[in-house]
Amino acid sequence: MSHHRNPRALLTPAMHGVLDRMARSGKLPLHALTPQLARRAYETGAGVLDIAPTKVDRVEDFAVTARDGHALPVRLYAPHGSVGAALPVLVYLHGGGFTVGSIATHDSLCRALSHQAHCAVLSVDYRLAPEHRFPVAFEDSWDAVRWVARFGSEKGLDSRRVAVGGDSAGGTLAAACALQARDEAVPLALQLLFYPGCSSHQDQRSHKTFGHGFVLEAAHIDYFFNLYLRSHADRADWRFAPLMADDVDGVAPAWFGLAECDPLVDEGLQYADRLRAAGVPVDLELYRGMVHDF
């Protein structure tokens, strides 16, 4: 997409105010912290742009077993009026650069999705880097999707109506899970992608235009990826960069929610275009004047 000569002029007045307050706070950026301190800081600040938590009918914490025996924490949300019904389910993968974020940081979002879409939402606490590097986050995410397909009925979920979604790094994981679902003939109804990372290298024009001063900075991206990836060779793996997939034919229909003032916007648009070219139904919303993580 084309980019404005003065990119800050694209911001909405409200977003201008948010960025100004963030700049005045004087807090150290996440990339200046250890991963452990970055997680605490992210947890503390996660509610800044959140809506108020929505009441839902049921919230249940439990664990599913990952391929290596790890007890993978998940949280299931069920909307009001869902008693006795087999619910469609969205498997949700939180953002945070594969390094920060959790079920707790995305609780309000998952509640809202469950309430507004009248579906169950299964939020997944996949393992984080650097303690668990690529491809563990993907494997945990896919193991959760596969668990829903095989055993979701035990929790009142309709395994014929499964979607996968996520924001930022979680959007990357969701897109990769949609590719894996296609390859393993696991039917998915939808992939819900909020400003996903899709590219192996961050060299699109939007990375240069919005790489400083728009919440997600180039230094953050370098920090997260250096903690997550084992080596440079991992960048060529479609489980990290869905644009690297040999083909995207036959994947689930996709909804994209992209932020105009986001370093990742161009790669999101590129992936949407690639899906359309392969005949995959795509619906895309470009939120004008918004930044990453809005």
Burial of residue 271 (CB within 10 Å: 0-12, 13-18, 19+) is buried
> Which residue from 215, 54, 35, 200 is spatially nearest to 127, judged by alpha carbons?
35
Residue 173: which of 150, 141, 151 has the closest Cα? 141
Spatial contact of 159 and 86, defined as CB atoms under 8 Å apart: no
Tokens 């095989």 belong to residue: 150
- Strands, sheet with 87-93, edge to edge from the N-terminal-most edge strand: 58-65, 71-78, 120-124, 87-93, 157-167, 190-194, 254-261, 282-291
Cis bond before residue 88 (omega within 30° of 0): no
**262 is known as an active-site residue:** yes
Q: What whole-number distance in Å separates Cα of residue 23 and Cα of residue 21?
A: 5
* 168 a catalytic residue: yes
Query: What tokens does 142 get?
Result: 């896919």
**Phi, psi (5° rounding) for residue 157?**
-105, 145
Tell me which of 123, 168, 200, 206 is the catalytic residue.
Answer: 168
**C-alpha dihedral sign at 232, 136, 169, 183:** positive
Report phi then psi at 42, rounded to 5.
-65, -40
- 29-66 burial, b at 16+ Cβ within 10 Å, e below that, comes to ebbebebeebbebbeeebeeeeeeebebeebeeeebeb
Instruction: Write down the catalytic residue from 143, 262, 266, 293.
Output: 262
| Dihedral (Cα; 256, 253, 191, 273), 10-degree rounding | -40
- Return the bridge partners of 258, or none: 286
Annotated active-site positions, please? Answer: 168, 262, 292
